[in-house]
Amino acid sequence: MRFLFIIRMQTEAANAAAIAGKLGETIQSIVAGMKPESAYFTDSDGKRTAFIVVNMTDASQLPEMAEPWFLAFNAEIEVHVAMLAEDLAKAGPAIERAVKTYTK
């Protein structure tokens, strides 16, 4: 199943890595370990932020994906299920059932 990780690195921890010359190397190492479908880097809420899409087959993989960010950058992480248009189309019947059941 595809998941979107939103990773906001704490400024102090990321600055320390940058000053030590390790910011890019550490980020590249963590991202490589995640084996992402895609990865984008920008800012969010004034912090260095990564948006990374990963396929996970089991919930037990979550710590493997998140812990390096927590440890290296004291990061705040959000994880969301991410669907392609085809996934959403498959969900159509369930949405229709919910509409019929929970609306009047």
Dihedral (CA of 87, 90, 92, 97) sign: negative
Judge contact between 13 and 72, C-beta under 8 A: yes
Beta strands at 76-81 and 2-8: parallel, antiparallel or unpaired:
antiparallel
d(CA 92, CA 96): 6
Global pTM reads 0.91
How many domains does one find in the chain? Answer: 1
Any idea what the CATH number is for the domain that residue 75 is in?
3.30.70.920
Q: What's residue 104's pLDDT?
A: 81
β partners of residue 38: 53
What does each of the 104 residues of the chain score in pLDDT, given as a tens digit? Answer: 999 999 999 999 999 999 999 999 999 999 999 999 999 999 999 999 999 999 999 999 999 999 999 999 999 999 999 999 999 999 999 999 999 999 98
Q: Which domain holds residue 52?
A: 2-102
